[in-house]
Structure 1
Amino acid sequence: MKATIAELPKYVDKEVKLGAWIANKRSSGKIAFLQLRDGSGFVQGVIVKSDVEEEVFQTAKTVTQESSVYVTGTVQKDERSPFGYELLVTNVELIHTSTDYPITPKEHGTEFLMDNRHLWLRSKRQHAVMKVRNEIIRATYEFFNENGFVKVDPPILTGSAPEGTTELFATKYFDEDAYLSQSGQLYMEAAAMALGKVFSFGPTFRAEKSKTRRHLIEFWMIEPEMAFVEFEENLEVQEQYVSYVVQSVLKNCQLELKTLGRDISKLEKITAPFPRISYDDAITFLHEKGFDDIEWGDDFGSPHETAIAESFDKPVFITHYPTKIKPFYMQPHPEREDVVLCADLIAPEGYGEIIGGSERIHDMDLLYKRVEEHQLDPETYKWYLELREYGSVPHSGFGLGLERTVAWITGVEHVRETIPFPRLLNRLYP
C-alpha cells in the first residue's frame, strides 16, 4: 500500500511504502533510526538489524542526509513521537544519493540560510511555518466563501497608485508608465459595485527601504471590499475573520504549532470582539507611558504600536486617525473633519499592524476634492471617480498582510520566514 506520512495514522499495523527524503539519521550496531520526510510530514523509521537483510541495514546506516528513498515498513503507534506514529522498516531502496548537503544539523547564520532558502524550506521548522501559512489561506477562502464574498483578481500592473507614488516600483508598459501594484483596493471597490461583497488575494509590492523584521518588498494581501457596509460593520467583519483564521490554525495545525514551540494559550484567547482605542486616546496613553516623542498628527511607529498592544491580550483596533496622515479615499468622521473613519488592527506580542481598513468616501465632490488636495491627476483616476458618479453607495474594506499574520500566529521572529522566497531590501536571490 503506497501512502504519504500524513496518511500513516490510517494504516496502523499495516505495511506501507512511501517515498521520502532522509532528514537525519543515527545508528548503533544493531538498530538504525531514519528521520524521514515526504512533504506531507515527518516520521521516524526504525530498522532492526536482525529483522532485515544485511544489505538493507547497510543502506540505512550509510544513506546520506537528503538522499531520496523508497521505504517499506509497518506503521506503529508511538506515544514518544510528536507525530504519534513510527515506521518499523523492512526495506530501503535508494533512489538518489545526496552528497555534501550544505544545511547540516549544526547552527548556521541567517545569511547562509537565506542564500540556501531553496533548501532551508525542507527543515522541520520551515515546513511547519509553510503549513500554517497554507492553513491561513485555506481558512481565508472558506470564511469569505461562506459569507457570500466573490473572489476577484485585480491587476498587478497598474497605471496609478492608491496611496501615492513614493513607494512604487515603476516600469515601462510599452509607451506608458506603469507600476507594480501596492494594493488592489481601488479595483476591488469597482468589483464591489458590481458584485456586492468581494475579496482578493495576491502579491503586492512596496519600494520601501526598510530592514525591520516586519517588512518585505513583495508580500501577499487579502483585500475584501463591501458595498452598503459602513465603518462599524467593517470592524466586525475584520474581527470575525481574524478569529476564524486563528481558530482554524489551532484546530488543524496542532503538530506544526508544537514544532514551532508556540504558546497556544495566547492564541486560544483570540475570539471576537476585539478591544478598540481611538487615536486620541492612544496618544494620551503613550504620553502616560513616557513616549514624549509622539505628538497628535504623527503616525505610530513599531515601539508605539507594541506599547499599546501590550495592554491587551487580543488584537486591538486603533481607530480614527488624523486625516492628514491617511490616504485620500478615506471617509471623514461625520462630526470631525480632522479624523477619518479608519482603523488599524494591531496584533499582540509586538507583531504590529496586520490590517488597515476604512470606510471609503462615497461622495463624488468630496473625492474629487481629495484627489486635487493630494496632487493626483484626475484623468488618471477618472475611472475611480466614476464609481461615485453612477450609483454611489457607502462602502468599506480592509487589507490584511498575510506574512505579518503568519509571523504572529506562528510566533516566528522575522517575516522572512513566513514566505517561501522572501524579497528583502538587499535580497533577490534565490
Structure 2
Amino acid sequence: MKTTIKDAKNHIGQEVTIGAWLHNKRSSGKIAFLQLRDGTGFMQGVVVKSEVDEETFATAKNITQESSLYVTGTISEDNRSDLGYEMQVKSIEVIQEAHDYPITPKNHGTEFLMDHRHLWLRSKKQHAVMKIRNEIIRATYEFFHDTGFVKIDPPILTASAPEGTSELFHTKYFDEDAFLSQSGQLYLEAAAMAYGKVFSFGPTFRAEKSKTRRHLIEFWMIEGEMAFYEHADSLEVQEQYVTHVVQSVLKNCELELKTLDRDTSKLEKVQAPFPRISYDDAIEYLKEQGFDDIEWGEDFGAPHETAIANHFDLPVFITNYPTKIKPFYMQPNPENEETVLCADLIAPEGYGEIIGGSERINDLDLLEQRIEEHQLDRESYNYYLDLRRYGSVPHSGFGLGLERTVAWISGVEHVRETAPFPRLLNRLYP
C-alpha cells in the first residue's frame, strides 16, 4: 500500500510504501537511521541489520543525500518523534542516486543558498516556512468566502498606476506604454461597485531599489474592497482577517512553528480588536522616546514603526497620516483635512507594515482635483472617474503583503525566505 509521510499516522502497525528522498542519515554497525522527506513531511526510517537482507542494509548505509527512493516498512509509534511515529524499514528501492548534492549538513552563506534556492527549498526550515505560507493562503480564501466576498482577478499589465509611476516596471504593450501592476486596487474598486465586497490575490511589482529585510521586487498581495464601508468598518474587517489567519496557523501548523523555534505565545495574543494610535500621537510618542529625527509630515521608517509596535506588543493601526505623503485616492479626514482616513497595520517584533488601507474618495470633483495635483494622466483614469459619475458610494479597502505576513508569523528574519523564488535587487536567478 502506498501512502505519504503525513498520512502514515493512519497506518500504525501496517506495512506501507512511501516515495521519498533521503534528507540525511546516520548509522552504526548494526542500525541505520534514515531521515526521509516526501513533500508532506519528514520522518525517520529505521533499518536494523538483523531484520533485513544484506543488500538492503548495504543500500541504507551507502545511499547518498537527496537520492530518491521507494521505502517499504511497518509504521510504528515513537513518542520521541515530533510526528509520533516512524518506519521500521524492510526494503529500499533506489529510484535515482544523487551525487555531490551541493547543500550539505553544514553552514552555507546566504548568497550560496540563494543561488541554490531550487534545492534550498528542500530543507526542513524552508519547508516549514512554505507550509505556513500555504496555510495563510488557505485561511485567506476561507475568511473571504465565509464573509461574503467575491474573488476578482485584476490585470497584471496596466496602463495606469494607483500610486504614481516612479517605482513601476515599464514595458511596451505593442505600440502603447504599460506597467506591471503595483496593486489591483483601482480595478477592485470597479468590481466592488458591481459585487459589493471583493478580494484579489496576485503578484505585484515595485521597482524600488531597496535591500532591506522587508522588501522584495515581486511580492503577492491580498486586497479587499468594500462598497458602503467607511474607514472604521474596514479596520474591523482587517483585524478580523489577520486574527483568523494567525489563529489558523497556530491550529494547523503546530509542527512547522516548532521546527522554526517560533515563540507561539506572542501569536496567541493576536486577537481582535487591535490597538490604534493616530499619526499625530505616534509622532509625539516617538519624540518622547528620543526620536528627534522625525517631524510631522514625514513618513515613518523601520525604526519608528518598530518602536511603536514594541510599545503595544500587538499588531497596531497607525491612523490618519498626512495627506501629502499618501496616494491621491484617499478620503480626507473630516476632523483634520491635512490628514486622510487611512491606516497602516504594523506587525509586532520589528516586521513593519503588513497592511495599508483607507477610505477612498467618492466625490468626483475632489478626485479630479487630486489627479491634477498629482500630475497624473487624466485619460488613463477615465474608467476610475466613471465610478464616481455613476452611482458613487462610500467605499474602503486594504492590501496585505503576503511575504511580510509570512515572515512575521513564522518568525524568520528576512522576507527572501518567505517566497519560493524571491526576486530581489540584483537577483533574478533561479
Query: Normalised by the shorter chain, which TM-score bucket?
Result: over 0.9
Partner of 1:243: 243
After superposition, what is the alpha-carbon deviation per residue over 1:23-67, rounded to whole angstroms, capped at 9, x for unaligned?
001110000000000000000000000000110000000000000
Q: Distance in 2 between matches of 1:159 and 1:373?
A: 19
How far does residue 337 in structure 1 lie from its aligned partner after superposition? Answer: 1.1
How far does residue 294 in structure 1 lie from its aligned partner after superposition? Answer: 0.3
What pairs up with 1:124-203 in 2 under 5 angstroms? 124-203=124-203
Partner of 1:84: 84
How far does residue 312 in structure 1 lie from its aligned partner after superposition? Answer: 1.1
Structure 2 residue 105 is matched with structure 1 residue 110? no
After superposition, what is the alpha-carbon deviation per residue over 1:268-325, rounded to whole angstroms, capped at 9, x for unaligned?
0001000000000000000000000000000000000000000112100000000000
How far does residue 388 in structure 1 lie from its aligned partner after superposition? Answer: 0.4
Q: Distance in 2 between matches of 1:377 and 1:420?
A: 36
How far does residue 106 in structure 1 lie from its aligned partner after superposition? Answer: 0.5
What pairs up with 1:258-269 in 2 under 5 angstroms? 258-269=258-269
After superposition, what is the alpha-carbon deviation per residue over 1:1-20, rounded to whole angstroms, capped at 9, x for unaligned?
11000001111111110000
On the 8 A contact 1:269/1:313 being kept in 2, the answer is no
After superposition, what is the alpha-carbon deviation per residue over 1:229-266, rounded to whole angstroms, capped at 9, x for unaligned?
00001000000000000000000000000000000000
Q: Distance in 1 between matches of 2:103 and 2:378?
A: 54
Amino acid at match of 1:36: L
Q: Distance in 2 between matches of 1:155 and 1:128?
A: 31
Q: Distance in 2 between matches of 1:76 and 1:320?
A: 58
For residue 247 of structure 2, give the secondary structure of its aligned residue in structure 1. helix
Q: Distance in 1 between matches of 2:394 and 2:270?
A: 29
Partner of 1:13: 13
On the 8 A contact 1:297/1:322 being kept in 2, the answer is yes
Amino acid at match of 1:163: E
Q: Distance in 2 between matches of 1:52 and 1:111?
A: 43
Partner of 2:346: 346
Q: Distance in 2 between matches of 1:15 and 1:246?
A: 37
On the 8 A contact 1:76/1:87 being kept in 2, the answer is yes
Q: Distance in 1 between matches of 2:53 and 2:335?
A: 83
Partner of 1:95: 95
For residue 72 of structure 1, give the secondary structure of its aligned residue in structure 2. strand
Partner of 2:328: 328
After superposition, what is the alpha-carbon deviation per residue over 1:57-113, rounded to whole angstroms, capped at 9, x for unaligned?
000000000000000011111111112111000011100000000000010000000
Amino acid at match of 1:277: I
Structure 2 residue 33 is matched with structure 1 residue 28? no
What pairs up with 1:37-56 in 2 under 5 angstroms? 37-56=37-56
Q: Distance in 2 between matches of 1:161 and 1:334?
A: 26
For residue 324 of structure 2, give the secondary structure of its aligned residue in structure 1. helix
Partner of 1:302: 302
Q: What's the % identity of the aligned pairs?
A: 78
For residue 303 of structure 1, give the secondary structure of its aligned residue in structure 2. helix
Structure 2 residue 280 is matched with structure 1 residue 289? no
Q: Distance in 2 between matches of 1:378 and 1:69?
A: 61
Partner of 1:121: 121
Q: Distance in 2 between matches of 1:358 and 1:194?
A: 20
Partner of 1:419: 419
Partner of 2:72: 72
Structure 2 regions of 5+ residues with no counterpart?
Answer: none
After superposition, what is the alpha-carbon deviation per residue over 1:209-235, rounded to whole angstroms, capped at 9, x for unaligned?
000000000000000000000000100
For residue 9 of structure 1, give the secondary structure of its aligned residue in structure 2. helix
How far does residue 355 in structure 1 lie from its aligned partner after superposition? Answer: 0.1
After superposition, what is the alpha-carbon deviation per residue over 1:339-360, rounded to whole angstroms, capped at 9, x for unaligned?
0000000000000000000000
On the 8 A contact 1:161/1:181 being kept in 2, the answer is yes
Amino acid at match of 1:74: T
Partner of 2:217: 217
Amino acid at match of 2:183: S
For residue 203 of structure 1, give the secondary structure of its aligned residue in structure 2. strand
Amino acid at match of 1:323: T
Q: Distance in 2 between matches of 1:76 and 1:237?
A: 46
Q: Distance in 2 between matches of 1:327 and 1:283?
A: 20
Q: Distance in 2 between matches of 1:315 and 1:309?
A: 7
Q: Distance in 2 between matches of 1:294 and 1:334?
A: 25
Q: Distance in 2 between matches of 1:281 and 1:401?
A: 25
Amino acid at match of 1:45: G
For residue 379 of structure 1, give the secondary structure of its aligned residue in structure 2. helix
Q: Distance in 2 between matches of 1:99 and 1:123?
A: 17
For residue 211 of structure 2, give the secondary structure of its aligned residue in structure 1. coil
Could you list the runs of 4 or more consecutive aligned residues of structure 1 that deviate by over 3 angstroms after TM superposition? none
What pairs up with 1:266-415 in 2 under 5 angstroms? 266-415=266-415
Q: Distance in 2 between matches of 1:76 and 1:255?
A: 19
For residue 426 of structure 1, give the secondary structure of its aligned residue in structure 2. coil
How many pairs does the alignment contain? 430
Amino acid at match of 2:285: F
How far does residue 334 in structure 1 lie from its aligned partner after superposition? Answer: 1.2
How far does residue 335 in structure 1 lie from its aligned partner after superposition? Answer: 2.3
Q: Distance in 2 between matches of 1:39 and 1:335?
A: 54
On the 8 A contact 1:16/1:75 being kept in 2, the answer is yes
